Amino acid sequence: MFSGKTQELIRRLDQARYAGLAIQAFKPALDDRYAIEAVASHRQLRFPAIAVPDVDAIRRQLHDDTRVVAIDEAQFFGSDLVGLVDELANRGRHVIVAGLELDFLARPFGPMPLLAAYADRLTKLQASCQYPGCGSRQATRTQRLVDGRPAPADAPLVVVGGAATYEARCRHHHRIGASLSDEPAPIAVEDSAEL
């Protein structure tokens, strides 16, 4: 999260619009954080989109003349998205997909691993780790927070939220179910000699 995935998606859609291409953008209906009828970045950049409940709804609402198909928050769609994206690309449509690679448990998220494997072009964006004092490591994980503490492993997999619910974290600072402040402090090397 917070790496600019949707912002980059919107940038690419703007390029297609300037080129005069017919575009349709889709997003999962459950993502109502910033706008219902648009893909919207955390910085409030927007592009008109159709909110759909599932992949079949994308298929039903796709126009014959659409040349560019964009799908935001693709991790929330089922594995049948992979087949649709492949079919559209094979028919000559330019398909742009944005989504999280890993869920908050650091496991592959929805159809994203297969979409990445089949992609003709893959762009991986990463935020900086938001853990206090880190900031310099590349964030490869999404830290879900519940009341400011890491969410437990048995928490619901899908919770739509923003900065109050999620942080970008590096591998070193990502935690599940225990706050970093609950961990014992490491023993300093000079202190261990006194043991």
b/e code 113-148 from CB counts within 10 Å (16+ = b): ebbeeeeeeeeeebbbbbbeeeeebebbbbbbbeee
Catalytic-labelled residue, pool 73, 101, 183, 194: 73
- Cα(92)–Cα(126) distance, rounded to whole angstroms? 29
Tokens of residue 132, six digits? 């206090």
Cβ partners under 8 Å of residue 145, min gap 6: 151, 164, 165, 166, 167
Establish whether 101 is a catalytic residue.
Answer: no
Please provide the DSSP assignment of 30-84 as one string: T--SS-SSEEE-TT--EEE-EEESSHHHHHHH--TT--EEEESSGGGS-THHHHH
Measured distance CA(146)–CA(186) in Å, rounded: 25
Residues with a catalytic annotation lie at 73
